[in-house]
Structure 1
Amino acid sequence: MLDFDPARFRPEDVDRLAAQADDALRRLSASTEEMVNLTATGEAAGGLIKATVDSSGRIKRIALNPRALRMDSETLAESLIEAIGAAQDDARDRVQEMVAELMAATGLPAKVDTEAVLEKVGAIGDATRRRFDEHHDDLNEVRRAF
């Protein structure tokens, strides 16, 4: 979790924040790789039809038990759609779980209010500029004194 309070910022906080950011990036990288390699399988017709999809829901494999070929074409098509849909639902749910776990591990909320974040970032930027201006003025006073 990134722990940053601009009002109490000290130079030694830079190393701590950098370490926290590195840890968050490592977790993100590992989670991204896990998501890319994720596959999910759905079944229909009592397991006679199986569909495997990747994390984005693209079909990677369809397996038909020879007994499935005895179905009429309409039932077979419906069963294929059912198996693919089940696999896609499972993939979506697993990706959402992974994202929620990642967000929780980094201390970020699973759902982000973008407007609130932008408002907070703007407020932090304004506070940082004010403090910088104050320090700049202080440094100018010290320089004039010499």
Structure 2
Amino acid sequence: MHTFDADPANWRDEDLEQDAEKAAKILAWVGDGQRELDEITGTGEAADGQVKATTAVDGLVREIVITPRAMRLDSRSLAEHLMLAVGRAQDDAERQSRQLMTDALADLVPDGGPDPQAIEEQIGRLLRSFERP
């Protein structure tokens, strides 16, 4: 792996070809990766499985399931269990999306590339930028 040199006089043809191949792989993954990200759903439960939630990777709630037994809870407890299940589903979707990104980067970045922990932190910051207030 070579380091980037901003001076074009020092660019080598083989380095440019390798960079072009990497860029092509990344661009191909962006299309596929976005489809894969869009298909991720997170699941979470609360109240011993009486309240279940499914969310999309963007955090939006796709489904809520409340068992008849959970309907006997007072409204405050039910609301807390709903929020807990949704939060767990969102965490699950985020974990899956981070894993997808980490796996993709491992395939695209050769050994000796950027630190995986640093990449994970950058991905986390990127994903948090899409969170709703």
TM-score under structure 2 length normalisation? 0.70
The answer for the alignment partner of 2:102 in structure 1 is 100
- Work out the CA distance in 2 between the residues paired with 1:13 and 1:90: 39
Deviation at residue 46 of structure 1 after TM alignment: 1.1
Deviation at residue 28 of structure 1 after TM alignment: 2.5
Deviation at residue 96 of structure 1 after TM alignment: 1.5
The answer for the alignment partner of 2:47 in structure 1 is 45
Write out aligned runs for 1:1-146 (5 A). Answer: 7=10, 9-10=12-13, 14-107=16-109, 109=114, 110=116, 111=118
Q: Which runs of 5+ in 1 are unaligned?
A: 115-146
Checking the alignment, whether the CA contact within 8 Å between 1:42 and 1:87 is kept in structure 2 is: yes
Deviation at residue 18 of structure 1 after TM alignment: 2.9
Aligned residues: 111
Deviations 1:75-121 (A, max 9, x none): 11111011011101111111112222222221153436x9xxxxxxx
Amino acid corresponding to residue 49 of structure 1 in structure 2: V
The answer for the alignment partner of 1:122 in structure 2 is none
Checking the alignment, whether the CA contact within 8 Å between 2:2 and 2:15 is kept in structure 1 is: no
Identical-pair percentage: 33
Checking the alignment, whether the CA contact within 8 Å between 1:28 and 1:102 is kept in structure 2 is: no
Larger Rg: 1
Q: Which runs of 5+ in 2 are unaligned?
A: 123-133
Deviation at residue 25 of structure 1 after TM alignment: 1.5
TM-score under structure 1 length normalisation? 0.64
CA RMSD, Structure 1 to Structure 2 (Å): 2.5
Moved more, 99-108 or 51-60: 99-108
Deviation at residue 19 of structure 1 after TM alignment: 3.0
